[in-house]
Amino acid sequence: MSAEDNMRANIRPNIRDVAARAGVAVKTVSRVLNGHPYVSAPMREKVERAMQDLDFVPSVAARILSGSKSNQIALIYDNHSPYYMFQIQTGCWEACKARGIRLLAQPVDVADPDVGDQVRGLVSETHVDGIVLSSPVTDCVPVLRALDAMDIPFVRISPGTNHALTSSVFMDDAQAADDMTTHLINAGHRRIGFIKGHPNHMASDDRLFGYRRALDRAGIAFEPQLVMPGAFDFESGFAAGAMLLDLRDRPTAIFAANDDMAAGVLAAAHGRGLALPDQLSVAGFDDTTLARTVWPALTTIHQPMAELARTATEILINGGDISHRRLAHTLIERASVAPPSRMTP
């Protein structure tokens, strides 16, 4: 037995090996593997023991080929920030692990004219059962067209546009920005600068909208010169922050549409020797690790990225009806926001 077992250990055991070992038909082993209803309890046990004995792991390739589900899904993403991708991958991965699904994380370049073909190739090659689309890819027309044409289910995380035919999960960017702006107003700020997100990103508009709505509600006049363009990166935040701080009547608080840009604002303020947060309050958005590693730590909106991804993946795996699920955000208070100092700066 030891000799035989050793030999088996080096050769990948087969479903046929398992069947032989258990003294049953191959098909019965297959039924056990797939949780088919018509299998008696003793039979199931017998087969499971045989699988254990042989360290049997079914080959995905063979399963795919024989025409059923591949038990694989793909996560398609484009190079966002490392932190964002990490959270998204983690969320997808957790959901997949719980259900025994394999996850293929696939980067693409949305600007590449061949994206559609690349995605088509991915699906044809790997036979994935479904796809999770993360942020910038969610609105990439060639990809959406390819997926529609292939008739493969997919779920979108934080899409910018609506798509009645597929499920999506998202958060309320406008409300979150409104919350943060209101938080700043409640702290006593009246002149609040805003740095917009990347123009290609739909959420940017929503966040600006929330900022304006909160100002309106508080009866504070909107001042266009307090709104600066940005691109979701440190450099653009730094530049926008510099512009705002050099205004004759500069704002007492600056709300950046993400944490990277907020970090840029902090740098610009430090460079001007401002005491933070007394002479300038800064707020971010996303709650990336960055928010905790800059000084002062950023008050920001916690966007539940991992949970968005996990939920999206669960929806995809469970199948069922098309659903659109909104997840809650949270305002995280840290040290970067304080009441404006008495003295006009």
Residue 27 interacting entry, from its own copies, DNA, none, C-beta within 5 to 8 Å by type = DNA
- Least distance from C-beta 59 to DNA, angstroms? 4
Helix residue spans in 66-172 (DSSP H): 82-99, 115-126, 141-150
Distances 69 to 66, 72, 264, 317, 322 between C-alpha atoms, Å: 9, 8, 47, 11, 20
Nearer to DNA, 58 or 229 (CB): 58
Cα–Cα distance measured from residue 22 to residue 8, given in angstroms and rounded to the nearest whole number: 15
- Least distance from C-beta 48 to DNA, angstroms? 12
- Least distance from C-beta 319 to DNA, angstroms? 15
Binder to its own copies among 5, 16, 25, 59 (CB under 8 A)? 59
Region 212-271 residues binding its own copies, contact defined as CB under 8 A: 234, 260, 263-264, 266-267, 270-271
Site track 197-216 with DNA (rule: CB under 7 A), x = hit: --------------------
Q: Judged by CB under 8 A, how many residues of this single chain contact its own copies?
A: 51
- Paired with 74 in beta bridges are 104, 131
Residue 290 interacting entry, from DNA, its own copies, none, C-beta within 5 to 8 Å by type = its own copies
Q: Coil, strand or helix: which one is 89?
A: helix
Residue 270 interacting entry, from DNA, its own copies, none, C-beta within 5 to 8 Å by type = its own copies
Cα–Cα distance measured from residue 299 to residue 295, given in angstroms and rounded to the nearest whole number: 11
CA dihedral 321, 86, 59, 42 (to 10 degrees): -70
- Reference 176, options 67, 345, 302, 72; nearest CA is 302
Query: Cis (ω within 30 of 0) for the bond into 296?
Result: yes
Nearer to DNA, 42 or 224 (CB): 42
- Rule CB under 7 A: say whether 38 interacts with DNA: yes
Q: Coil, strand or helix: which one is 74?
A: strand
Residues in the chain: 345
Could you give phi then psi for residue 58, rounded to 5 degrees? -65, 140
Type of residue at 279: Q
The residue range among 35-43, 153-161, 247-255, 283-291 that interacts with DNA, by the rule CB under 7 A, is 35-43
Which residues bind to its own copies, rule: CB under 8 A?
9-10, 12, 55, 57-62, 64-65, 70, 79, 81-83, 85-87, 89-90, 93, 102, 104-105, 107, 120-121, 124-127, 149, 151, 234, 260, 263-264, 266-267, 270-271, 289-290, 292-297
Which residues bind to DNA, rule: CB under 7 A?
12, 14-16, 23-31, 33-34, 37-40, 42-43, 56-59, 61-63, 65-69
